[in-house]
Amino acid sequence: MRILTLFQIVAIVQLTALSHRACAQSALPTQIANPLNSTSLIDAGYREMYNLDFSGAHVAFQQWERSHPEDPLGPTSEAAADLFWEFNQMHVLESDLFMDDDKFFYRRAAPDPQVKLRFEQEVARAENLATQRLERTPHDGNALLAKVFDAGMEADYAALIENRYFASLAEMKQSGRLAQTLLTYSPSCYDAYLAIGVENYVLSLNPAPVRWLLDLYGAETNRQTGIERLELTAARGHYLEPFARVLLAVAALRANDRQHARELLQGLVQEFPKNQLYARELAKLQ
């Protein structure tokens, strides 16, 4: 019995690199509370990444690292850009793969070995910096967030790039546990809710016997909880807010709610006009 169905969403879930500002919202707004802006280098890097301009993203992240050499979110963000580049090259983020499990799991594409090496080096560097900060300040928000992200990215690479789905479960669960720890000390760090939301939503879509095994493993498999956490990040998040909208669009498609999916994608197309993937996915719904 295989664990499948939306494991590819983990690709979208874990791309997190949160600033202190992203952990300071308080009230549910009627529009995006804390959108990416053009004055922050790390914001600029994520905006370029969402626009599929990966070289521009790396330039911005490297500039951020030079001015914040002890912040683990710098190398974490670099690793995110490399992972997202690989997803784009391997067409992981396209809806045809999201909606067709067999098509996704039987795809044949080879990752770039140089990108993999750089990705592993960036994650290791981020982990070292995060560990050092946590030794000085046990509840350091950026360090915990970097660790949430690093565990999620390693799960993503195992499952989505190397097709090692069962091997990715431990890292996926570790990311969820770290997110819960972070939220204990900073419950308004809304991007962190995405890791919990994905774990619940993605794993809830498996058949009942698989969910039973996952429950024994300690995984969270409540679909409604998953949707609620995704909506929370979409409403209040920062770096992961666009990804939360993508996830909700996929969930809407799987629920045959094409109108809601269309509305979500329209917003993404307007915000990230250079990302032709969002435009192509929206065109499929016209």
The whole-number pLDDT of residue 98 equals 57
66 assigned to some structural domain: yes
43-61 pLDDT, tens digit each: 999 999 999 999 999 999 9
Residue written as token pair 């879509």:
205
4 assigned to some structural domain: no
1 assigned to some structural domain: no
97 assigned to some structural domain: yes
The whole-number pLDDT of residue 29 equals 36
Q: Which of 97-101, 139-143, 192-196 has the lowest mean pLDDT?
A: 97-101
Q: Which of 59-73, 189-203, 243-257 has the lowest mean pLDDT?
A: 189-203
> Which of 178, 168, 220 is CA-nearest to residue 198?
220
Q: Which of 90-104, 121-135, 153-167 has the lowest mean pLDDT?
A: 90-104
Radius of gyration of the chain from its Cα atoms, rounded to whole angstroms: 17
DSSP, residue by residue, the chain? ----SSTTHHHHHS-----GGGG---S--SS-SS---SS-HHHHHHHHHHTT-HHHHHHHHHHHHHH-TT-THHHHHHHHHHHHHHHHHTTTTSHHHHH-HHHHHT------HHHHHHHHHHHHHHHHHHHHHHHHSTT-HHHHHHHHHHHHHHHHIIIIIS--HHHHHHHHHHHHHHHHHHHHH-TT-GGGHHHHHHHHHHHHTS-HHHHHHHHHHT----HHHHHHHHHHHHHH-STTHHHHHHHHHHHHHHTT-HHHHHHHHHHHHHH-TT-HHHHHHHHTT-
More confident residue, 233 or 12: 233
Domain count, the chain: 1
Mean pLDDT of 132-147: 91
165-224 pLDDT, tens digit each: 666 777 777 777 888 888 888 888 888 887 777 766 666 655 565 555 665 556 666 677
Hey, what are 20's tokens?
A: 């202190």
**How many percent of the chain have pLDDT more than 90?**
31
The whole-number pLDDT of residue 159 equals 73
The whole-number pLDDT of residue 180 equals 85
CATH number of the domain that 208 lies in?
1.25.40.10
Q: Which of 82-91, 115-124, 165-174 has the lowest mean pLDDT?
A: 165-174
Q: What is the pTM of this model?
A: 0.80
Mean pLDDT of 258-270: 93
Whether 195 and 152 have beta carbons less than 8 Å apart is answered as yes
Domain range for residue 260?
9-283
More confident residue, 102 or 74: 74
68 assigned to some structural domain: yes
Hey, what are 70's tokens?
A: 């002890």
Mean pLDDT of 71-83: 94
**How many percent of the chain have pLDDT more than 70?**
72
More confident residue, 186 or 82: 82
More confident residue, 69 or 177: 69
Split at pLDDT 50, 70, 90, the class of 7 is very low
The whole-number pLDDT of residue 23 equals 45
The whole-number pLDDT of residue 199 equals 67
Across the chain, mean pLDDT equals 78
More confident residue, 26 or 205: 205
104 assigned to some structural domain: yes
DSSP, residue by residue, 56-115? HHHHHHHHHHHH-TT-THHHHHHHHHHHHHHHHHTTTTSHHHHH-HHHHHT------HHH
